[in-house]
Amino acid sequence: MTYAKTAAFTADQQQLARVAKALAHPARVAIIQLLASKHTCISGDIAAELPLSRTTVFQHLQELKALDLIRGEIDGLTVCYCLNTELLLQVQQQFTSFFTAATTGAACGPDDGCAC
Amino acid sequence: MTYAKTAAFTADQQQLARVAKALAHPARVAIIQLLASKHTCISGDIAAELPLSRTTVFQHLQELKALDLIRGEIDGLTVCYCLNTELLLQVQQQFTSFFTAATTGAACGPDDGCAC
DNA sequence: ATATCATGACGTATATTTACGACATAGTCA
DNA sequence: TGACTATGTCGTAAATATACGTCATGATAT
């Protein structure tokens, strides 16, 4: 395009958007929930529990890894994928303050001109 | 594709992903922040405060409106866009429980086989 | 009525995402 | 060593998202 005007926004806005994008696909949400439910996970097993091919799951894992939301360490033949709990806590903070600002920001009241 | 296997996932996962997708672009994050900072907003004004054309901003507004995160009511010549505070609170709840589940889920410990 | 201004709808070009199959690589075990 | 298994890489096709210019519509005010 004429594409990706991302750079023109605040660092905060970009960061929030980046993480939101990581959660913007049900497969990635499912992967995180799966990792949270088990102590340790292996890429192949994850593919087995999702309605997607191994390749596609791997791609989703890469995206999550690119943001460092999950980590994978080679353990012999298999790989142990783990959640980055510290980062997830930070991200949760970001979302919380974003939502708090959004919901506590004064809503349209009867004193305004508009009708909502 | 061979596209959109979205249907194969949980309703919860889909819902979270849908909302996350809405926040997955800095422009939309900026729009919500802008609406939160003012009582009332008008589409034209929003475009004026973002580094995007009016058309593009309108498109982002439509996406947010499709999820009912914001609402727009015609007020004569202009339109009053407002945040849907109730829905935002619900969404915040969803995110919070998702993150809580993810961060309290047992992380890899030394008792596991893996090295993380 | 009609010029004007604010919004909304349409069409289009390009970038990115999603999804796979097929091949490459690297560790295990007989 | 050599078959086997588990992961990672590459290439590709189709769907979506992003961005914008241009035209249509509908209310206001002259």
Walking along chain A (116 residues) 10 residues at a time, the average pLDDT comes out as 79 97 97 89 87 95 96 83 94 97 71 54
Determine whether the interchain pair B103/A80 forms a contact, defined as Cβ–Cβ distance below 8 Å.
no
Q: Give the number of C-alpha atoms closer than 13 A to the C-alpha of residue A108, restricted to the C-beta side.
A: 19
Q: Is the pLDDT of residue B45 over 90?
A: no
| Cα distance between residue A23 and residue B85, in whole Å | 22
**Residue-number span of the structural domain to which B74 is assigned:** 9-96
Determine whether the interchain pair B13/A6 forms a contact, defined as Cβ–Cβ distance below 8 Å.
no
Chain segment B67-90, per-residue pLDDT in tens: 999 998 877 778 889 999 999 999
In a domain, A105, yes or no: no
Q: Give me the CA B108–C1' D16 separation in Å, rounded.
A: 36
pTM as predicted: 0.89
Tell me, what's the pLDDT at B33? 95
Residue B58's CATH number? 1.10.10.10
Q: Contact, A71 vs A81, CB < 8 A?
A: yes
Tell me, what's the pLDDT at B78? 85
Determine whether the interchain pair B8/A51 forms a contact, defined as Cβ–Cβ distance below 8 Å.
yes
Strand D bases, protein C-beta under 7 A: 5-11, 13-22, 26-28
Tell me, what's the pLDDT at A109? 55
Helix (H) or strand (E) holding A83: strand A78-83
Tokens at B53, concatenated: 């054309």
User: Which stretch of A46-60, B13-27, B100-114 has the lowest confidence by average pLDDT?
Assistant: B100-114
The sign one gets for the Cα dihedral B62, A8, A60, B17 is negative
Average pLDDT over residues B29-56: 90
In a domain, A76, yes or no: yes
In a domain, A38, yes or no: yes
- How many structural domains comprise chain B? 1
Q: What residues of chain B lie within 8 A of the CB of A22, using their CB?
A: 20
